[in-house]
Amino acid sequence: MHTRRIGEVEVSAIGLGAMPMSIEGRPDEARSLATLRAALDAGVTLIDTADAYHRDADEVGHNETLIAKALAAHDRGGDVLVATKGGHLRPGDGSWTLDGSPGHLKRACEESLRRLGVEAIGLYQFHRPDPRVPYAESVGAVRELLDEGKIRMAGVSNADPEQIRQADEILGGRLVSVQNQFSPAFRSSEPELELCDALGIAFLPWSPFGGISRAAGLGSAYAPFARIAETHGVSPHRVCLAWMLARSPVVVPIPGASRPESVRDSAGAADLVLTADEVAELDAA
């Protein structure tokens, strides 16, 4: 597996978004653990999660607990950077709510530490801006967690360029990642990607295939991805991830998966080299 960097940490060029293994429509635990094991076997060393990745109100942190179990059972589990997030909540009725207050973020981090079974979280990201709380206060809480050694690296998610600059300033130049939605269907995060490229901050595209409901139709919705996939004898999904990698060396996609075969297919994108003409065609798709 080719590698890229998040801060000073070297990670696999393709990560894994673990959310589908814990929310509505999730598989049973055996298949989820098999999926995580397949990711580790394929050389994936970046797993993205959040305390809000759960289905029912009484199982906050379901995804974090699942990941901790999988890592403990694998001989390369200690090589993985777990990136978790705080600031989003799920009441248990299918909705998503926000709490970016410093008190909540600090409590959430403590609970994530407990579930992951670590002394310090590798990468902790503020999940989503809360309009009721000044952004500086939310990021300030993350800075305090960083200064206290509760987290080793800090990032933000769902942030615009102004918020990225503000977060980096508040963190004293220690912002290492921005996790935003980016896919063939959702390209409005282009300015954020370009800013991260200029600043040398890792850009982690979430839902790179357009989301769980759209992922299967990627090739039919975007013909160039299907055509180039056929040329290379691979899936349109693998082409999509290779296209993202070609956009900038700071890009580290985190495709979601709940099946071992999906993980293995995504991991192969790190070895797929697209021509400049192919990248340009996909840019215009």
Q: What contacts 109, CB < 8 A, 6 or more positions away?
A: 86, 121, 124, 145, 150, 151
Amino acid at the residue 124: Y
CB 74 within 8 A of CB 30: no
Nearest to 180 by CA among 246, 79, 252: 252
CB 117 within 8 A of CB 77: no
CB 124 within 8 A of CB 94: no
Helix, strand, or coil (residue 81): strand
Catalytically active residues, by annotation: 53
Q: For the residues of 107-158, what is the DSSP string, one character each?
A: HHHHHHHHHHT-SSBSEEEE-S--TTS-HHHHHHHHHHHHHTTSBS-EEEES
> Which two tokens mark 160?
């615009």
Amino acid at the residue 76: R
Q: How far apart are CA 18 and CA 38, in angstroms?
A: 13
> Which two tokens mark 74?
């694998």
**Bridge partners of 9?**
6
Q: How far apart are CA 214 and CA 208, in angstroms?
A: 10
> Which two tokens mark 15?
């990560």
